[in-house]
């Protein structure tokens, strides 16, 4: 399994990766292509594709901040779901660097959201019950309420507030 960083929307595999992204995330949780093009110019941002035997298995889009690596979006291709690739990708991501990892999850108010949280918990992530709103990604979208999961340790509400204050302006350009 190999992670390959794409730096431009014209790179090989971007179109296929973008299809995975659009299929995996609801409209309010994903960037518009023009915004994505700009975000990819930031050196802290990584648009990584996951390749296995010359096949695009999934994507992991993340930010490398001083204190954390923040997973912005993570998905496996539909044809490769429920085959253990998600676990393998995150295990590799965890082992590639010793920084703490953060990721957002929707509130545990539906069966699918609870299942997604359990998946991350099985991989050692901690659910932090500090609710916060993420700003809308565009004028056509709505702000969303999330919880942060962290690896390897839980974080405090002060840590969440610091993450929001320091990293959200970079992530969301606001």
pTM for this model (two decimals): 0.94
Per-residue model confidence as pLDDT tens digits over 27-60: 999 999 999 999 999 999 999 999 999 999 999 9
The stretches in the chain having pLDDT less than 50 are none
- pLDDT score of 139: 83
Alpha-carbon distance 38 to 9, whole Å? 10
- pLDDT score of 136: 85
- pLDDT score of 51: 96
Kindly state the tokens that stand for 77. Answer: 């291709």
- pLDDT score of 142: 87
């Amino acid at each position: 399994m190999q992670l390959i960083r794409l730096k431009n929307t014209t790179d090989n595999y971007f179109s296929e990766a973008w299809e995975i992204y659009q299929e995996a995330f609801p409209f309010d949780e994903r960037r518009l292509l023009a915004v994505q093009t700009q975000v990819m110019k930031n050196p802290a941002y990584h648009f990584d594709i996951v390749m296995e035997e010359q096949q695009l298995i999934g994507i992991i889009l993340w930010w490398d901040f001083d204190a954390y690596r923040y997973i912005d979006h993570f998905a496996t291709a539909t044809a490769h779901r429920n085959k253990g690739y998600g676990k393998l990708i995150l295990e590799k991501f965890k082992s590639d660097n010793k920084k703490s990892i953060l990721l957002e999850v929707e509130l545990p108010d539906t069966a699918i959201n609870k299942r997604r949280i359990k998946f991350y918990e099985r991989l050692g992530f901690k659910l932090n019950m500090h609710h916060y709103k993420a700003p809308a990604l565009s004028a056509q979208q709505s702000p969303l309420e999330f919880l942060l999961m962290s690896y390897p340790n839980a974080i405090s509400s002060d840590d969440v507030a610091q993450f929001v204050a320091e990293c959200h302006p970079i992530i969301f350009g606001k």
